[in-house]
């Protein structure tokens, strides 16, 4: 069993009218099964309302399945006494950094999690230091979070989760509100956590170019897993992705358009280097 495993997970919620009468039942997650290996970089794509955030909230016991089971680090998320262990193993980062930062000083904010876990003071400081270093924010440790840019704030949020020593970190559209530079900083920090610290990463995003380095991509639609595979396998299916309201990175789209015009190129080109290389071959041939 991997770090996160879901088996036949269904999540339903009741829609109520103003008097509180049940109007109907919406199934947000529909029989999803997946098994995520420790250390993997996983991406989840899907249009607005496809169920991806609802699924993600099952991964650290914010929501519980209506049917089926979710295990985090081998623990069933419905076992109440394991709740804090689960949340410590699987940390979550949300879209808006301003909703996640509570401290007046960066290092204080990052120390909040371990302090609540009852970690001894000396160790808290060690954890704060290593977490801030891991996201490249150590030199801002004495700053007020208010004065940071969006990308910096989001990296502080990630450090806050890191300080709890999770095995897995789930990020729900962490770059949606950031400018290009902030986006780059955050993605670089996330990749470093995965590469260097070997933390399992589950990244939910609408930016296709952010996930070309993922080990595996799940695409959700209507509460189900509609596609899964490596980024190359997924991004080779341009038409199918478009029918699911998604897209491919610009370089993949350019290669696809060129292919349609008769240029001989392989499917699923993911980087500029690949396209340039393939076009070079083309000129020789």
Partner 1 sequence: MSLVLDHVSYIYGEDTPLSMKALNDICLEIPDGQFIGIIGHTGSGKSTLVQHLNGLIKASRGHIYYNGEDIDGKEFDKKKLRSNVGLVFQYPEHQLFEIDVFSDVCFGPKNLGLPQEEVEARAKEALAQVGLSEEFFTQSPFELSGGQKRRAAIAGVLAMKPQVLILDEPTAGLDPKGRDEILNQIKKLQTETGMTILLVSHSMEDVAEYVDRIIVMNQGSVMFDDEPREVFRHYKELEEVGLAAPQVTYIMHALKEQGMLVDVDVTTIAEATEEIVKCLETLH
Binding site for partner 1 (CB under 8 A): 15, 46-50, 95, 149-151, 173, 176-183, 206, 208-209, 242, 245-247, 249-251, 253-254, 257-258, 261, 263, 272-273, 275-276, 279-280, 282-283
Distances in Å between the Cα of 264 and the Cα atoms of 14, 105, 234, 284 are 52, 55, 20, 12
Minimum distance from residue 149 beta carbon to partner 1 (Å) = 5
φ, ψ for residue 263 (rounded to 5)?
-80, 135
Our CB check for partner 1 shows the closer of 33 and 272 to be: 272
Our CB check for partner 1 shows the closer of 147 and 198 to be: 147
Minimum distance from residue 265 beta carbon to partner 1 (Å) = 10
The DSSP result for 32-50, as a single string, is EEEEE-TT-EEEEEE-TTS
Which helix (H) or strand (E) covers residue 155, if one does? helix 150-162
Minimum distance from residue 89 beta carbon to partner 1 (Å) = 28
Our CB check for partner 1 shows the closer of 48 and 80 to be: 48
Minimum distance from residue 232 beta carbon to partner 1 (Å) = 17
φ, ψ for residue 166 (rounded to 5)?
-75, 160
Contact 252, 234 (CB under 8 A): no
Our CB check for partner 1 shows the closer of 104 and 282 to be: 282
Our CB check for partner 1 shows the closer of 4 and 204 to be: 204
User: 127-151: string of b/e by CB count within 10 Å (b at 16+)?
Assistant: bbbebbebbebbebbeeebeebebb
Minimum distance from residue 227 beta carbon to partner 1 (Å) = 15
């Amino acid at each position: 069993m991997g770090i996160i495993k879901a088996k036949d997970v269904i999540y339903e919620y009741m829609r109520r009218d103003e008097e509180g009468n049940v109007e109907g039942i919406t199934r947000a997650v529909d029989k999803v099964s997946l098994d995520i290996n420790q250390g993997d970089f996983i991406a989840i794509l899907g249009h607005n309302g496809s169920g991806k955030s609802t699924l993600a909230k099952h991964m650290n016991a914010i929501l519980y399945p209506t049917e089926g089971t979710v295990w985090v680090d081998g623990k069933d998320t419905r076992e109440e006494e394991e709740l804090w262990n689960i949340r410590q193993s699987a940390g979550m980062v949300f879209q808006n950094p301003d909703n996640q930062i509570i401290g007046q000083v960066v290092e204080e904010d990052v120390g909040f999690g371990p302090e609540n876990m009852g970690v001894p003071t000396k160790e808290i400081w060690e954890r704060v230091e290593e977490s801030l270093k891991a996201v490249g924010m150590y030199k801002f440790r004495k700053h007020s979070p208010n004065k940071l840019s969006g990308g910096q704030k989001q990296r502080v949020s990630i450090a806050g989760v890191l300080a709890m020593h999770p095995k897995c970190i789930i990020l729900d559209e962490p770059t949606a509100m950031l400018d290009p530079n902030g986006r780059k900083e955050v993605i670089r920090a996330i990749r470093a956590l995965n590469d260097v610290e070997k933390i399992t990463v589950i990244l939910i995003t609408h930016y296709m170019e952010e996930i070309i380095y993922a080990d595996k991509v799940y695409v959700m639609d209507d509460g189900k897993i509609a596609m899964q595979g490596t980024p190359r396998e997924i991004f080779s299916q341009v038409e199918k992705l478009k029918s699911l309201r998604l897209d491919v990175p610009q370089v993949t789209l350019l290669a696809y358009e060129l292919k349609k015009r008769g240029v001989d190129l392989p499917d699923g080109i993911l980087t500029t280097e690949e396209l340039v290389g393939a076009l070079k071959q083309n000129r020789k041939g």
